[in-house]
Homo-oligomer: A and B are copies of this chain.
Amino acid sequence: MRPWRSLGRRTLIDTSPWLVAGDETWELPDGRVVEHFNWVRTHDWVAIAALTTTGTLVLERCFKPGNGRVTLVLPAGALDEHETPEVAARRELLEETGFASEDWTSLGSYRLDPNYGLSTGHLFLARGARQVAEPDGRDLEEIELVELSLPDALAAARAGEIMTIGSVACLALAALALAP
């Protein structure tokens, strides 16, 4: 199966480093040409399912503009420039929650949208996490730390209390990785 071939792209909005978007002209393998196919680029990010030494999962209760209300999310954030995903995951977990772990497992890297592209999220499981510092409180959001058992976190996702797909993908993959 052949990929499509790009015949060129335009940038229609550029608020780097936050959001760049435009459209692209594609030639399909059968020769058809599709114009004005939108693309969007935002920054790549990490999300972390951090399991504490007592077996609870570390979550954050906060307001997120894209969610429109106060919900639970997993610790997550944008990669800094030149940062590897695991370094970013360790930094975000420490900054947002004060937790650290020495036992990291990649749960994979995934594209946010198959049509627009957008960003790549790198998902991690951190086992044996323990609180070694206070959260640094530098994010825009007020963050309340919440610890839930894994079954309770999965129930919170089903009930709509965890409504971010990156958080729920990371949580579900972590639960599968931890299943006996």
Contact = CB atoms under 8 A, between A and B. Distances in A.
Contacts of A163: 109-111
Contacts of A29: 142
Contacts of A175: 172, 176
Chain copies in the assembly? 2
A26 to B, nearest CB: 6
Interface stretch (A56-64, A79-87, A88-96, A126-134): A56-64
Contacts of A66: 39, 111, 113-118
B34 A115 contact: no
Nearest to A63: B3
Contacts of A158: 107-108
Contacts of A107: 158
A164 B117 contact: no
Interface of A: 1-4, 12-13, 15, 18-19, 21, 23-24, 26, 28-30, 32, 34, 36-40, 42, 61-70, 73, 76, 107-119, 121, 140, 142, 144, 154, 157-158, 160, 163-169, 172-173, 175-176, 179
30 contacts: A1-B62, A1-B70, A1-B142, A13-B13, A15-B23, A19-B40, A24-B65, A37-B65, A40-B42, A42-B115, A65-B114, A65-B115, A65-B117, A66-B113, A66-B115, A66-B118, A67-B114, A68-B117, A108-B168, A111-B164, A112-B112, A112-B118, A112-B165, A114-B164, A118-B118, A121-B165, A157-B173, A168-B169, A172-B176, A179-B179
